[in-house]
Chains A and B, each alone.
Chain A
């Protein structure tokens, strides 16, 4: 169904993922709770993933109309898998850090972690 894929303009995907990315950035910058910051980072990663997948599908659909046996756009899908794997690893490390942090200082406030200052 490549025609149906192409029926939806790519701008919609871009705007959606930009919005998600900006929400993530603003969250990282403004929030102090480590878990929320963490979630915002995940949000940014997923915004990128979304964009990659969208581009992949649009490219594939455009190429399919010319040549049915094309594999164009599959690289982006591979990228997304990589990102998801790295994100999963990151989550496990990050959550572990947050747990350790809570155990040590009984807080998940990122501003609390400014011991390196001075």
Chain B
């Protein structure tokens, strides 16, 4: 079956080409069919590959040599194994649902822009598939750059709005900073091992010195920081809300931000060998999880809350990676893909109904107008809060349990973050769907449930959010840790400490209880409030995202801007221009002076001749002493 592997990324690429080139001639429905159809077929092939891998198939399929230079050979190869097969399913599956949803959500766009949108969407899926399927770091890097480009294109999809363009640029530049780290790590690997293929690199880990290993893993992690929005490179992700809502869902759930997690999970052999890098990943992940959660509590834009929640959940995944729970992190990627896609698409449905109003202060009581959106959104909220038996509970619990084994402090902070997660999600839910409507009368009149193309993906994702967790029920709850077993061949180095069952029950009990209390408190506080209070004091700091954007602006952007202004006005104008123009002026001036020698007076010519003869004679007298001196000079 591996022969079919190349079709998985190829089909979205074909979809991209058709939609991109034919966007002016194709009808909207044709564009929609092509866009969704290619991804659907990819999904079906991925399913086939997945079951093939499950039955012991899967291999590295090499197509041609991508780079050949001296001893370095980088093949264009795809790796089909447990990890990539699982990611393929998430990407194409969730991606397909988002495509279907988009056909309805973007219906108001002109056909030409509709085609452009679907072309970008397909290219996004293609890049992500390339990233996941690549059998070496270079092919992965191609996809890595591809998703960066597509996120830029899609965030700036409404390119007539300058703010959206700034957001797109911000995302691209932040990603570039991370990409540099990734690129350096690749170079380092080539320099030390002479290969970038996963299999060969992991087989030779022991030949790397500790310093090399730490440097490579930290550089890779810097790449992951950019792509997966971790401190300090996370600020682009909330701004990426400028794009259409399905794009946010795609970026946050199926593609893009999971790339960093995938890359580190893929490199788990390297990370397990480097204690320093692991601790760094765990600490950064935990810090991001808490930091973003505090910001999310005070946001009033429905998409911003979800965006910070994504940053926070990504922090949990990195915490999982850092404490060695690679399966837990991958599991959380999967369940998070389900419920975060669900939440974003639900938010999109709300925004659609509210005619592009995103401020939750102007919503409220939407429960009775949007029944399907309401129920699915509620499921998403419960899932992300970690209430059993919804999927978020299992994945988050696995990460927290592993964190407890590593260091109970990690666990304590993680539970605090989980409580905040539950609180801000239900604050969002309560303000949006409960209470009474706070918008204008006109808006209330037009409230309507979204079309089928939007509600069906919601329903499917809601079901997945509910049952997704049963894929990996831990043994302590009577399950078999199926995902654990499935991923065991690729994540061999996992550290598993056996914890007493009573301890595990206690950990679960505490985290669920804390989340439940936060939920009850949030609903109790926000469902009856007629209006959200304006933030004051510390809340103001949170509402303004700890002023991190302003900080970056003053510390990095402004000095850089001043520096470039200095280069432009001083170095460029007087330095480079001065030198270039100066040479011209010098030649002009000196030739004007030399011209005066040609005065047309025969006498002066003869004078020069005589003087020259005298000079020549002087050079040759004294046995050619002066002549030899001159020769020696040059």
* Chain A residues within 8 Å of B, Cβ to Cβ: 25, 28-30, 32, 110-111, 113-114, 116-118
Question: Is there contact, CB below 8 Å, between B602 and A29?
Answer: no
Complex Cα distance, B128 from A39, in Å, reads 98
B602, closest chain A residue (CB): A110
Q: Find out whether the CB atom of A111 lies under 8 angstroms from the CB atom of B603.
A: yes
Q: Are A111 and B610 in touch, CB under 8 angstroms?
A: no
- For window 596-610 of B, CB contacts with A under 8 Å fall at 599-603, 606-607, 610
Partner of A114, one of B600, B606, B607, B610: B600
Query: With a CB–CB cut-off of 8 A, which chain A residues contact B606?
Result: 28-29
Contacts of A116 in B (CB 8 A): 600
Minimum CB–CB distance from B596 to chain A (whole Å) comes to 12
Q: Known interface pairs A25-B610, A29-B610. Does A110 touch B603 (Cβ–Cβ under 8 Å)?
A: yes
Q: Is the CB of A117 within 8 A of B599?
A: yes
| Bound Cα distance from A113 to B600, whole angstroms | 9
Cross-chain contact A111 with B607 (CB below 8 angstroms): no
A28 to B610, CA, bound (A): 11
Determine the distance from Cα of A118 to Cα of B606 in the docked complex, in whole angstroms.
19
Once bound together, how far apart are the Cα atoms of A29 and B599, in whole Å? Answer: 15
C-alpha gap A114/B601 in the complex (Å): 7
List 21 A-B pairs, Cβ < 8 Å: A25-B610, A28-B606, A29-B603, A29-B606, A29-B607, A29-B610, A30-B603, A32-B603, A110-B602, A110-B603, A111-B601, A111-B602, A111-B603, A113-B602, A114-B600, A114-B601, A114-B602, A116-B600, A117-B599, A117-B600, A118-B600
List of A residues within 8 angstroms of B600 by Cβ: 114, 116-118
Q: Mark contacts of B40-73 with chain A using CB atoms, 8 A cut-off: 1 yes-contact digit, 0 otherwise.
A: 0000000000000000000000000000000000
How far does the alpha carbon of A30 sit from the alpha carbon of B606 in the complex, in Å?
10
What residues on A are CB-neighbors of B602 within 8 Å?
Answer: 110-111, 113-114
Nearest chain B residue, comparing its CB with the CB of A113: B602
B607 — which chain A residues lie within 8 A by C-beta? 29
Q: How far is the CA of A110 from the CA of B600 in the complex (A)?
A: 11
Shortest beta-carbon distance, B212 to chain A, in Å? 76
Ordered nearest first, which 7 A-B pairs have the shortest CB separation?
A117-B600, A114-B600, A29-B607, A110-B602, A25-B610, A29-B603, A29-B606
Residues of B close to A111: CB separation below 8 A: 601-603
Per-residue contact bits, chain B 601-622, to A (CB 8 Å; 1 contact, 0 not): 1110011001000000000000
CA distance A116 to B607 in the complex (A): 18
Min Cβ gap A17→B in Å is 15
Find chain B residues with CB under 8 A from A117 CB.
Answer: 599-600
Find the B residue at minimum CB distance from A110.
B602
Interface residues of B in 369-416 (CB under 8 A from A): none
Rounded to whole Å, the gap between the CB of B595 and the closest CB of chain A is 12
Chain B residue nearest to A116 in the complex (CB):
B600
Q: Which residues of A contact B610 (CB under 8 A)?
A: 25, 29
Chain B residues near A29 (CB, 8 Å)?
603, 606-607, 610
**Cβ–Cβ < 8 Å partners of A113 in chain B:** 602
| Chain A min CB distance to B613 (Å) | 10
- Residues 572-607 of B at the A interface (beta carbon under 8 Å): 599-603, 606-607
In Å, the complex CA distance between A3 and B91 comes to 119
Chain B neighbourhood of A110, CB < 8 A: 602-603
Residues of B within 8 A of A30 (CB): 603
Q: Which residue of A lies closest to B613 (CB)?
A: A25
* Nearest CB of chain A from residue B599's CB, rounded to whole Å: 7
**Which partner residue on chain A sits nearest B598 by CB separation?**
A117
- The residues of B that contact A114 with a CB separation of less than 8 Å are 600-602
Nearest chain A CB to B627's CB is how many angstroms away?
Answer: 22
Select from chain B the residue with minimum beta-carbon distance to A118. B600
**How many angstroms from the CA of A51 to the CA of B223 in the assembled complex?**
90
> What is the CA–CA distance of A111 and B602 in the complex, to the nearest angstrom?
7
Residue from the set B601, B603, B607 with the largest chain A CB neighbour count within 10 Å: B603
Instruction: Write the nearest CB–CB distance from A47 to chain B, whole angstroms.
Output: 14
Bound CA–CA A28/B599 (angstroms): 18
Nearest residue in B to A114 (C-beta to C-beta)?
A: B600
Q: Complex: how many Å from CA A28 to CA B607? A: 9
Residues of B near A32 (CB, < 8 A) are 603
Cα-based distance from A116 to B605 in the complex (angstroms): 13
| Complex-state Cα separation, A101 to B607, whole angstroms | 23
CA distance A88 to B603 in the complex (A): 24
Whole-angstrom distance between the alpha carbons of A25 and B602 in the complex?
14
Name the distance in Å between A91's Cβ and chain B's nearest Cβ: 19
Once the chains are docked, how many angstroms separate the CA of A84 from the CA of B599? 34
* Cα distance, A43 to B556, chains bound together (Å): 84
Whole-angstrom CA separation of A113 from B599 in the bound complex: 13
Q: Which residues of A contact B603 (CB under 8 A)?
A: 29-30, 32, 110-111
Name the B residues within 8 Å of A25 (CB-CB). 610
CA distance A12 to B195 in the complex (A): 90
Q: A28-B606, A110-B603, A113-B602 are in contact. List 18 more A-B contacts (CB 8 A).
A: A25-B610, A29-B603, A29-B606, A29-B607, A29-B610, A30-B603, A32-B603, A110-B602, A111-B601, A111-B602, A111-B603, A114-B600, A114-B601, A114-B602, A116-B600, A117-B599, A117-B600, A118-B600
A113 vs B605: C-alpha distance in the bound complex, in angstroms? 14
Bound Cα distance A55, B599 (Å): 40
Residue in B closest to A25 when the chains form the complex, CB atoms: B610
Residues of A contacting B599 in the complex (Cβ-Cβ under 8 angstroms): 117
The digit string for B227-241, where 1 denotes a CB below 8 A from any CB of A, is 000000000000000
- How far apart are B76's CB and chain A's nearest CB, in angstroms? 72
Instruction: State the Cβ distance, B608 to closest chain A Cβ, in Å.
Output: 10
Query: Shortest distance in angstroms between A36's beta carbon and chain B's nearest beta carbon?
Result: 13
Alpha-carbon separation in the docked complex, A28 to B603 (Å): 8
* Interfacial chain A residues near B601, Cβ < 8 Å: 111, 114
Cα of A29 to Cα of B606 in the assembled complex, Å: 7
Once the chains are docked, how many angstroms separate the CA of A85 from the CA of B449?
122
- Complex-state Cα separation, A29 to B601, whole angstroms: 11
A29 CB to nearest B CB, Å: 6
User: What residues of chain B lie closer than 8 Å to A118, measured between beta carbons?
Assistant: 600
A110 to B610, CA, bound (A): 18
Per-residue contact bits, chain B 219-263, to A (CB 8 Å; 1 contact, 0 not)? 000000000000000000000000000000000000000000000
Instruction: Please give the distance in Å from A94's CB to the nearest CB on chain B.
Output: 14
List B residues 501-520 near A (Cβ within 8 Å): none
By beta carbon, the residue of chain B nearest A28 is: B606
Which B residues are CB-close (under 8 A) to A28? 606
The CA of A35 and the CA of B602, in the complex, are separated in Å by 15
Nearest B residue to A117 via CB reads B600
B461 → A minimal CB distance (Å): 91
Give A41 Cβ to nearest chain B Cβ, in Å. Answer: 10
